[in-house]
Amino acid sequence: MTCSNLYKMDFTLRSRIKSCGESTMKFRITLIYLQKITIFLLFLIYLSCEIQAEAPEDEPGTYRDLTEALQNSLDVRILILSEQKLTTLPKKIEQLKNLQMLDLCYNQFKTVPKEIEQLKNLQMLDLCYNQFKTVPKKIGQLKNLQVLNLSSNQLTTLPKEIGKQENLQVLNLSSNQLITLPKEIGKLENLQVLNLGSNRLKTLPKGIEQLKNLQTLYLNYNQLTTLPREIGRLQSLTELHLQHNQIATLPDEIIQLQNLRKLTLYENPIPPQELDKIRKLLPNCEIRF
């Protein structure tokens, strides 16, 4: 992936064990930060991450102190307020008209702060590890949002307005209590990564089959017993993670997933003859079981 200039940033990422089935690790990376921040989210593509930006204090446009940020409102591009025991945001945060990245993870929010709805230029919003049970309908007003991380909260559903975020490319909903999703999820035509790991899904939510640009789908650690035939419509899919479910069989339509390169199936009650069938249907795919 190529990238142009803006800010060079350091991030510390600590992957979640349960969502990804990987061992805990901590590592540092250096990224080029753009107006289009999708580069940063390569790590949400493969991991359900806890993200803590560790940008140098002299990095232009980056702030960690809310009071200081409000004193330089038009200069703020990146605001990192993670692990500050926040329960509310001041109304004045709406003055940050040029804010592109907002990190509010590891706080004590019980509802998504309504002040966020006015941050029209926001491209990345990280709300992981709070105490949300719902997401407000007006979140659909954030038309420029490309990355939304709501992992590790207490969500049971999403509003249908989520489908209005037409520029969304990465949606992380892992480690919640989701039973289903609104069918409007299928309107996210630019979505490339969807993480639904560690929820309570028993069937694939309707609408997902409409995500023509979806490349990576996490459904691990749910209660799935099979997948619908419509899974074959996701022809851009390159990774499908199904480990730790109750799947015994997959539909023959998976043969249509000709771009699939990784399929994880371990910790499912799949009989040997079914595995043989899957191998024949997907000869170019790495299958882990």
Give me the numbers of helices (H) and strands (E) for the chain, helices first please.
4, 14
Convert the pLDDT of each residue in 169-193 to its tens digit.
999 999 999 999 999 999 999 999 9
Q: How confident is the model at residue 60 (pLDDT cuts 50, 70, 90)?
A: confident
**Is residue 289 domain-resident?**
no
Residue 240 lies in a domain: no
201 located within any domain: yes
CA distance 276 to 72: 61
In a domain, 74, yes or no: yes
Mean pLDDT of the chain: 84
Mean pLDDT of 226-251: 96
**CATH number of the domain bearing residue 37:** 3.80.10.10
Between CA 145 and CA 163 the distance in angstroms is 12
How confident is the model at residue 159, as a pLDDT? Answer: 95
DSSP run (H or E) holding 69: helix 66-71
Q: Is residue 263 in a domain?
A: no
Q: Is residue 163 part of a domain?
A: yes
Q: Could you tell me the two tokens for 19? A: 């969502």
Q: The domain containing residue 125 runs over which residues?
A: 7-223
Residues 12-55: pLDDT tens digits? 333 332 333 332 223 223 333 333 344 344 444 433 444 444 44
* Structural domain total, the chain: 1
pLDDT in tens, 117-162: 999 999 999 999 999 999 999 999 999 999 999 999 999 999 999 9
